[in-house]
Amino acid sequence: MCCCLLFSLLPVVWLLAASILPEQVFWYPIWLGAVIWNGMDGQGGISRLID
């Protein structure tokens, strides 16, 4: 239950942050996709599964 609530609140927090830090919040989805694809260190992530 708590995990579902967390994921449902993320878009709300993101939209609220957009009014305070518009440029940084704009890049967040692109940054998140890069971290998932490449991993935090740039060496892992799901891109390694394709190799």
* pTM above threshold 0.75: no
pLDDT per residue of the chain (51 residues) written in tens, 0 to 9: 566 777 788 788 878 887 887 777 677 777 778 777 887 777 777 767 666
Q: Measured between alpha carbons, how far is 50 from 28 in angstroms, rounded to an integer?
A: 24
Q: Measured between alpha carbons, how far is 21 from 2 in angstroms, rounded to an integer?
A: 27
